[in-house]
Amino acid sequence: MKTIDDYNFDDKKALIRVDFNVPLDKNFEVTDTTRIEAAKPTIIKVLEDGGSAVLMSHLGRPKGERKPELSLSHIRETVSAVLGVEVKFVADCVGPEAEKAAAELKSGQILLLENLRFYSEEEKGDEEFARQLSSLGDIYVNDAFGTAHRAHASTTIVANFFPSNKCFGYLLAKEIKAIEKVMRTGEKPVTAILGGAKVSSKITIIDNILDKIDHLIIGGGMTYTFIKAQGGAIGDSICEDDKMDLALEILKTAKEKGVEVHLPTDVLAAEAFAADAQTQLVDVREIPKSWQGLDVGPQTLVKFKEVILNSRTILWNGPVGVFEMEKFANGTIEIGNYIHKATESGAFSLVGGGDSVSAVKQFGFQDKVSYVSTGGGAMLESLEGKTLPGIAAILEA
Ligand code: AMP
């Protein structure tokens, strides 16, 4: 696996695919610089080697149109401030203007290209568009994990034009290693904690990881499909009736593979799906009519804690309750605390995919786990066992 450390960028131009798809407020100010900060080490390494950096990214969904509100010019100043280097901007990402700006770039300088998705060719993975992008640099660096599952021109196709001069940036390399650690090289026992709303959105992940884990903790809305399938009364809890057979199948396969499955035994049930709803703790199999389970209960947490603290490798995807409402956030917060404890004792913990990352941020767990993945969809597809085109394109000779 070639990373940026395998190259010396002295006098070279790095064409770097970054993920600067950052949130902007109504005055076009960047409200969260996490993604820019995440790309910083890669960009600085290129400059410190004596090279220059051409940065390309998308912003929002302009769908092939030049939408001024989605111009990357809005973020130029913020990128300069985060990187500590004045960043140049060019109002195109291909064509004569972009080529001229790239050609004039000197060692130590950074050029930010205009939004790639102003061209529909980007998302189509157009070969000619990718060729034009490739003319802007000597070495292609992909550091955008969030788009690595897309076969777009700048994330995948462009790599074909750099048969021997292409590599992963630090951020992407870290993501790949973290996933490897959980899926292949992690110390046992390996525990996966899966939550979130639906079985249907997690089923491919479960299928793929059953071979790799020792414990499967199930929480969140998914719980009730499993409980109902086993004959429990779940009241009005969220349930996918058409996935009940699948749930039983999962339990059977897990048993055959020697994976211990841990489902909640008690839950905090509410009279309505509302922040101020009446609540009561009940047995997960005896949820009263018209009540719904919205968080895991204390007895469940005792068991989950024991399993997590005994794990050496932990994957967490999806909250175990409706954490957006304070009343139902306790289980998710506690899971974060147990993972923190396990990590302190030397376990490797990876949190990734969609809402678990917002939960981690909301409760300040990002520094308490080993790794928080930044790529929602890309992370989920990796856990599902898919080969991401953006990663394959760098690995291919
Ligand atoms: P996902 O994107 O699949 O990880 O789902 C995350 C969502 O699942 C969050 O918005 C949670 O509020 C929701 N969720 C978690 N537990 C429950 C539950 N018991 N009932 C309904 N929704 C839930």
Predicted confidence band at 355 (pLDDT cuts at 50, 70, 90)? low
Query: Residue 336 corresponds to which amino acid?
Result: G
Q: What distance lies between CA 17 and its chain's CA centroid? A: 17
pLDDT of the residue at 232? 98
pLDDT at 359 over 80: no
Would the CB of 355 count as within 6 Å of ligand 1?
Answer: yes
Query: Residue 12 corresponds to which amino acid?
Result: K
> Under a CB-based contact definition with an 8 Å cutoff, are residues 193 and 217 in contact?
yes
pLDDT of the residue at 98? 98
Query: What confidence tens digit (pLDDT) does each residue in 266-283 have?
Result: 999 999 999 999 999 999
Distance CA 168, CA 395 (A): 9
Calculate how far, in angstroms, residue 131's C-alpha sits from the geometric centre of ligand 1.
Answer: 43
For residue 1, give every residue at least 6 positions away whose Cβ sits within 8 Å of its Cβ, in sequence order, or none.
168, 173, 176, 394, 395
Return the percentage of the chain with pLDDT > 90, whole number.
85
Task: Write the DSSP string, 148-166.
Answer: TTS--TTTTGGGGG-SSSE
Distances (CA, A) of 102 to 38, 43, 54, 55, 321: 23, 16, 7, 10, 49
* pTM score of the predicted model: 0.88
Query: What confidence tens digit (pLDDT) does each residue in 134-172 have?
Result: 999 999 999 999 899 999 999 999 999 999 999 999 999
Distance CA 319, CA 239 (A): 16
Would the CB of 221 count as within 6 Å of ligand 1?
Answer: yes
pLDDT at 21 over 80: yes
Query: Residue 147 corresponds to which amino acid?
Result: T
Q: Which atom of ligand 1 is nearest to the CA of 317?
A: 4
* List 198, 285, 312, 341, catalytic entry: 198
Query: What confidence tens digit (pLDDT) does each residue in 46-91 have?
Result: 999 999 999 999 999 999 999 999 999 999 999 999 999 999 999 9
Rg (CA), the chain: 23
pLDDT at 314 over 70: yes
Q: Which atom of ligand 1 is nearest to the CA of 224?
A: 19
pLDDT of the residue at 211? 93
Domains in the chain: ranges and CATH = 4-173 (3.40.50.1260), 186-383 (3.40.50.1260)
The mean pLDDT of 170-191, rounded to a whole number, is 93
> Under a CB-based contact definition with an 8 Å cutoff, are residues 165 and 40 in contact?
no
Known active-site residue 354: yes
Q: How many H-runs (helices) and E-runs (strands) does the chain carry?
A: 14, 17
43: exposed, middle or buried (C-beta count within 10 Å: 0-12, 13-18, 19+)?
buried
